[in-house]
Amino acid sequence: MAKNTVPPSDAARVKAQQMRQAQERADKRTRNIIIGVVAAVVVAVIAVVAIVVGNQIAKNARAHDSANTALLGSYEDGGPIVVSSKGVGVADDSVPTLTEYFDYSCHACADIDGFIGRDLSDGALAGDYTLEIQPVTVVGVEYAGPATTASLIVADQAPDHWIEFHHALLAYFGSQYRAGEGRVVSNEEASWKQVKSIALEVGVPQEIVDSFPVNVSDAYLERATNEWREAPIAGREGLGTPEFVKDHSTKIVLSGTDAPSILETIRTGMGLESASAQ
């Protein structure tokens, strides 16, 4: 009986075919593994990007949420920032009250603060009067929102840094106005970043600066401005800032061409001893 035999050449071809088929199966498995790994990586990257974008969107939403006035703390009701011998945020009822109405985007306010602002805050700290610093809207350039928001937050959370911060905010706006430069102060986002930089420069803690929203002071300013307009102030012949008022009732009309004479006008209007005589 004859045996079935495969010629050597045919056996080689069969073996080669089997090896090719095995290699193809191995290659297919490798491709599937690679595709699965790549897909998993892509999904992970998409998930990370989604989280980052989502967090940024949420952060931006919080930063621009003008209704979130709770961030203003004790100043949410539209009241002034108070300075007295007892510190920032504490009035001294035993001395007269000097109220300054101003706008962080008012160049005249910045000029007056540059002339006598520190003298006025020093006088309050020395016990001559209680100084009320009341932000209102007169000019309303975009810088005012972030500056007012940050000022109120610092007054509430880091009062020891507020006086320096307040003067620095006005000094920056004044410098931009005098330079005819409006790229920052006319842009709310750029103003916000600049305000944070100013805060850090004067020593406001980083964690407080990081909490600054772009602007949550619109409602505050609207309320404060309406109350200012309706206030029964004797001697007022129109509305404008800066406006100085004694004991919530009498306007002090500024005069003079230099810091000492302007300061003397205010001290006289308050019934105080001349600054030069002290």
Tokens (6 digits) for 121: 């805050």
DSSP state of 107: H
pLDDT band at 225 (very low <50, low <70, confident <90, very high): very high
pLDDT digits (tens, 9 = 90+) for 158-214: 999 999 999 999 999 999 999 999 999 999 999 999 999 999 999 999 999 999 999
Domain-by-domain residue ranges, the chain? 9-63, 70-277
pLDDT digits (tens, 9 = 90+) for 68-104: 678 999 999 999 999 999 999 999 999 999 999 999 9
Cβ–Cβ < 8 Å for 184, 194 = yes
pLDDT band at 9 (very low <50, low <70, confident <90, very high): low
SS3 content of the chain, % helix, strand, coil (to 5): 60, 10, 30
* 162 phi, psi to nearest 5 deg: -70, -45
Tokens (6 digits) for 18: 């089997």
Domain 70-277, CATH: 3.40.30.10
Exposed, middle or buried: residue 154 (CB in 10 Å: 0-12, 13-18, 19+)? buried
CA-to-CA separations, 23 to 15, 28, 31, 77, 103, in angstroms, rounded: 12, 8, 12, 78, 79
Is pTM beyond 0.85? Reply is no
Q: Which of 105, 128, 119 is nearest to 163 (CA)?
A: 119
- pLDDT value of position 140: 93
